[in-house]
Amino acid sequence: MTLESAIATYGYLAVMLGIFVEGEAIVLTAGFLAYQEILKLHWVMIASVFGSILTYQFFFLLGRLKGRQVLNHRPGWQSRVNRIRSLLERHDTLIILGYRGLFGLRAITPFALGMTSISYLRFTLLDLIPATIWGIGVSWVGYVLGKGADQLLVNLEDYQLWLAGAMVLVGMLVVGLYARHRMRSP
């Protein structure tokens, strides 16, 4: 089953739960399906916001309730948790509002926050802001990409020759750069 067919079949529940596994891909695909009128954009946005909230609440509570045990089983996380904790000591509000933009640290940040003394209520209230911005924004981007793809496919015949030429040029550039690199390598 493809990502698109899973979302089309299970709808908004797939969006909410899928964010836990593959956030942007799920929401972008759902936004694309909203453009195709398989889903409703406003419900995609709502499911995305709730899915985002649930996902990061889970990681916060995991850090709060089982943080030490998890770190004992995942020693590779220790350095990232320490880095986040040192940032958190100085900029806790900014970290909570902006951690969704920290690729590679998105799940570990609320986990590390859960291991601090920050209150669950404060984390939750502050986390509503980026969850809402992220859910609505990424859903909208998926919708707009769907519209752009639709327009591109409609006009594809007009641009076939240009696209083929561009692909040939890019291919030649890649081969030339690779050959140049190989010649310079000892």
Q: What domain range includes position 7?
A: 3-154
pLDDT of 100 reads 83
User: What is the total count of domains within the chain?
Assistant: 2
Same domain, yes or no: 63 and 134: yes
Same domain, yes or no: 97 and 185: no
In angstroms, the CA 150 to CA 122 distance is 43
What's the per-residue H, E or C state across 9-33?
A: HHHHHHHHHHHHHHHHHHHHHHHHH
Is the distance from CB of 43 to CB of 12 less than 8 angstroms?
Answer: yes
Is the distance from CB of 48 to CB of 138 less than 8 angstroms?
Answer: yes
Same domain, yes or no: 140 and 128: yes
61-103 pLDDT tens trace: 999 999 889 888 888 877 877 777 777 777 888 888 888 877 7
Same domain, yes or no: 22 and 112: yes
pLDDT of 84 reads 74
Same domain, yes or no: 64 and 120: yes
3-55 pLDDT tens trace: 778 787 888 998 999 888 878 889 999 999 999 899 999 999 999 999 999 99
Same domain, yes or no: 110 and 33: yes
